[in-house]
Structure 1
Amino acid sequence: MNVAPFTPFLTRCIEAAREIIALLDSGDSALYIKHTQGAGGDVSIGADLECQRIFAKHLLPLAHIDSEESGFIPSPHSTDDIIILDPLDGSDNFLSHIPYYGASVALCNRDRICKEAVVIHFCTQRLIARSGGRIFALSLGDFHRDSISLDSHTFTCANTPKCGIFEKAYSNPHIASLFFESGLKFRSLGASALSIALAHKVSFMLFAGSIREYDSKAGLFLCEGLHINHSRDFLLISKDKQIFDTIMQLLTQGKD
């Protein structure tokens, strides 16, 4: 059995996630108040800022933070590492009481090359992580402070998925029509980082448009080894080469 200790990064992400889940479940009205535009371009709500505050409290001892809400937050300690953070992925889902929102956390070196990554689903209280060369999925309740059995939690999918995920489908009806005509089923779930992290399990994951580093850094690290095309116009990920090639042809056709 492959038992590995938690890294400080994983441990602190778990501690932050538990605190955030309790806060979001509280229903505090301040979480729903709109604030100013964040570094990522969207208007922050109270929940975004509170999630950032909690992550910063736990993670700044390890590294600087580049957050979608506030941009660069320096660590008080001597470090070259930087954490690229989306503290609340799927804010609109949270505002709408749709249970699909979480966080994207990527620990990078000074050149922004990812070393460890975690994508946390706050609603299911599960996370997908890559650390020490392994990708694994766990419930927050599965964690023990000292060690974890990675062999029993390897992130795999035994079944053939019926659907993919198409984020931003609402603003790309021509592509959605091509998918329908080709028999490609999809869902549009509204939290890009969570959806990227699920690319191992679904038929495909497509984000139409230019995706921000805050949303994609951790997920792309988790998806290394899958078929990926990341351009200015879209991000496509699939474990199935035939489906990947089919969608690439449709995307090319959609431009004509």
Structure 2
Amino acid sequence: MNTDVSTPLFTPFVTQCIEAAREIIALLDSGDDALYLKHSQGIGGDVSIGADLECQRIFVKYLLPLAHIDSEESGFIPSPSSTQDIIILDPLDGSDNFLSHIPYYGASLALCDGRKICKEAVVIHFCTQTLIARSGERIFELSLLDPTPTSLLSSTSTKCGIFEKAYSNPHIAKLLFDHRLKFRSLGASALSLSLAYKVSFMLFAGNIREYDSKAGLFLCEGLYINHNRDFLLISKDKQIFDTIMQLLTQGKD
């Protein structure tokens, strides 16, 4: 098994994300009761749990020497270095899934310049121990158990899309159902964005937060995207994209 990530295949940002992810996965798998305790409300608006704060602590340990961090839990954390770069961080995307023992949660990290223009992005799937990353124009995925990168390829045999926030938008869900557009609602928006290459579409209803979307949007730049205050729609299939766009416009009338 190849465990050496100090290779030119990876930038310092991706390397540190890999190391942090390994430590976090071991911690989350420990089942420590403190991970499930509720704390105060985070900057992103949700009540933080112990797991949120512990994931943030580990990411800060590995990444703060590289850049400032803007975390969903604590807001702006200054780096001791002279860099202007900033990492937009959701340290535990899918906290409710974690609390409910549903194996679909991870982390989203976007390395941006001082103007918040994304340069690199990583979305980590803690449960499958995999990540999807983009450095410049290079997009790849890898297993944390054997970090040999492979090019991220679109799937040609997808049957379902992902519709996050479907529970609060039954009218849109019915439109999709009526047009035989199958979907699942998985409960971790950043992770779902990173799967847009694999599924038939990814739809988020409402105004998605930057912590959830910054990395995923950078990963998905080559796909069909419509991002506005009412929804975020991404698809690799133009026909499906156009169909859903018509339904969303129809649904607003």
TM-score range, shorter chain: over 0.9
Mapping of 1:53-132 within 5 angstroms? 53-132=57-136
Q: Equivalent residue for 1:137?
A: 141
- Give the C-alpha shift of residue 5 in structure 1: 2.6
Q: For 2:236, which of 239, 243, 247 is the aligned residue?
A: 239
Letter in 2 for 1:135: I
Q: For 1:193, which of 190, 193, 211 is the aligned residue?
A: 190
- Give the C-alpha shift of residue 158 in structure 1: 4.0
| Unaligned residue ranges in structure 1 (runs of 5+) | none
User: 1:194 & 1:218 partners in 2: Cα distance?
Assistant: 10
Letter in 2 for 1:11: T
Q: Equivalent residue for 2:53?
A: 49
Letter in 1 for 2:241: F
Q: Equivalent residue for 1:224?
A: 221
Q: Does 1:160 align with 2:157?
A: yes
- Structure 2 contact 155–197 (Cα < 8 Å) conserved: no
Residues 23-49 of structure 1: CA deviation (Å, up to 9, x unaligned): 000000000000011000000000000
User: 1:187 & 1:6 partners in 2: Cα distance?
Assistant: 33
- Give the C-alpha shift of residue 77 in structure 1: 1.2
Number of residues of Structure 1 aligned to a counterpart in Structure 2: 247
- Give the C-alpha shift of residue 133 in structure 1: 1.6
- Give the C-alpha shift of residue 76 in structure 1: 1.1
Q: Does 1:173 align with 2:170?
A: yes
Residues 55-102 of structure 1: CA deviation (Å, up to 9, x unaligned): 000000000000000000000111100000000000000000000000
- Percent identity between the two aligned chains: 82
| Unaligned residue ranges in structure 2 (runs of 5+) | 1-6
User: 2:155 & 2:133 partners in 1: Cα distance?
Assistant: 19
User: 1:16 & 1:158 partners in 2: Cα distance?
Assistant: 29
User: 2:156 & 2:145 partners in 1: Cα distance?
Assistant: 25
Q: Equivalent residue for 2:32?
A: 28
User: Where does structure 1 differ by over 3 angstroms across 4 or more consecutive aligned residues?
Assistant: none
- Give the C-alpha shift of residue 159 in structure 1: 2.7
Q: Tell me the TM-score normalized by structure 2.
A: 0.96
Q: Tell me the TM-score normalized by structure 1.
A: 0.95
Seen in structure 2, the aligned counterparts of structure 1 residues 132 and 4 have a Cα distance that, compared at 3 Å, is farther
